[in-house]
Amino acid sequence: MTESTPPSSDYTRLQVDDKEIILVGTAHISQDSVDTVIRTIDDLTPDTVCVELDTQRYQSLINKKGWESLNLKELIKKKQVPFLLTNLALSSYQKRMGIQTGVQPGAELAAAAQTAEARGMEVELVDRNIRTTLLRVWRKTALWNKMKVIASLFGSLFEKQELNEAELSKLRESDTLSSMLDEMGKLLPSVKQILVDERDTYMAYHIRNAPGEKVLAVVGAAHLPGITRLLQGNEIGSEVITEISTVPPKTTFSKMIPWLIPGLVVALFIGGFFFGNRNQLADAATAWVLANSLFSALGALLALGHPATVLSAFVAAPITSLNPTIGAGFVTGLVQSFVAAPTVRDMEHVSEDLMTFKGWWQNRLARVLLVFLFSSIGSSIGTFVALGWLKDLL
C-alpha cells in the first residue's frame, strides 16, 4: 500500500512499496521552475531523476543546432510533413510564451537531466514518444474533433497571450490546472485522454519502475494529480503500457477514402465512353486536367513558391489526384526544397518566425511547408470542381 507525506511547497513525497518517490510539478516556461528543479535535486540527492521527456524531445532541447541536421527532403518522402507542422506549431506556441519571461520552453526538464548527469545520478526519460502520442490522437479522434484540434492548434500560433512570471507561477497550482483539464475533457474527451491521461499512466509506470530507492520525477504540473493518484493505486500492468504505446492501425474506411475519388473518376470516364457522348470525352479530360492543375498551381503561388514549384504543381496535380500513394504536395514540396533550400538561419529561427503571420512566408523552411499544404489543398479543391464538370459533360 502506498502512503504519502504532506507535500512541501516545491515537491510531494510518496512511499511506494520500498521506494521513495518525490514528484516535482513545474511550468514549462518558468524560471522559477528551473531554479526549483536544480535546488531540489541538490537538496534531496536522489538515486535516479525521471524527466517528462522522450528521447526526441530531449535531443531537441539540448542540441541547439538540431535543425541543421534536419533532412527535409527525407521527411517529405516519408510523408511526415504533417507531423513536422504539428511539432512546429506546438513549439512556436510555447516559445512565444517563453520569450515573455526569457525562459526556453522545457528548460527545467533539460536542467533536471543535465544536473542529474553532472551529479552522477541515473537519468530516465519517462514520457511516451511524441510521434506515438500525436498519431494516437489523430487515429482515435472523430473527423469533426480532428478539425477542432487542427483549428485550435494553428489558431494558437497567432493568439497573443501576455504572461508574467507571477502568472506563470499559478500554473503550478494543481487545482487551477485540474479545472483546465476538466474543461478540455468536456470539449474533447478523447484528446484529453490521450494527451494527458494515457501519458500519466505511461509516466507513472516508468517512474515506479525506475532504478534506485529514492527517485525524483520532474513533470509538468498538469500531470501531477494524475501521476500521484496512479502511484498511490495498484501497480500498472505492462500490458496496459504496451497498449498505450501502440499506434492504432488505420481503419478500413480510412484506407479506402484515398481510392474513392480516383475510382469515381475512372468510373465516370468508363461510363461516358460506353453510355455517354464520346465526343465530349476529350472535353472531360481537359476539364479534369485544368481544374486540378490550376487550383494546385494557385495554392503553390499563394505560398510564394518558386516559379519551378508552381509549374510542377500544374503538371503533377492531375496525375497525383489519380494516385493515392503520391499527393501534389509531395512533388511541390520536394521541388521547392531543391530550388529554394532552407538556409541554416531558416532552420534555427523557424519557431520564432512562425510566431508571426509574415514569418511563415519569410522563412524558407516554413515556405516549403506552406507549398506542400497549399498545393495539396488546391489539388483537392480542383478534384471536387472537376468532378462537377465531369458529371455534366459525361
Reading the chain (394 residues) residue by residue, the pLDDT tens digits are: 444 444 445 688 999 988 999 999 887 666 788 888 999 999 999 999 999 998 888 887 776 555 555 666 666 766 667 667 666 665 655 555 444 444 566 788 889 999 999 999 999 999 998 888 878 887 887 767 767 666 665 655 555 555 455 555 555 444 444 444 455 556 667 778 888 899 999 999 999 999 999 999 999 888 899 999 999 998 899 999 999 999 888 777 666 766 777 776 677 666 666 665 666 677 777 888 888 899 999 999 999 999 999 999 999 988 888 776 678 888 998 899 889 888 777 776 776 777 777 888 888 888 988 899 899 999 888 888 877 766 665 5
Angle of helix 281-302 versus helix 364-393 axis, rounded to 10: 160
Phi, psi (deg, nearest 5) at residue 283: -65, -40
Contacts of 36 (CB under 8 A, 6+ apart): 10, 24, 26, 108
Task: Give this prediction's pTM.
Answer: 0.69
Residue 263 C-alpha cell reads as 475510382
CA-based nearest residue to 373, from 138, 67, 56, 88: 88
Query: CA–CA separation, 263 vs 282, rounded Å?
Result: 19
Grid coordinates 540527492 are at which residue? 45
Domain ranges, ordered by start, for the chain: 3-244, 252-393
Long-range contacts of 188-193, Cβ-Cβ distance < 8 Å, separation of 24 or more? 188/141, 188/145, 188/148, 188/149, 190/137, 190/140, 190/141, 190/142, 190/145, 191/137, 191/141, 191/145, 191/149
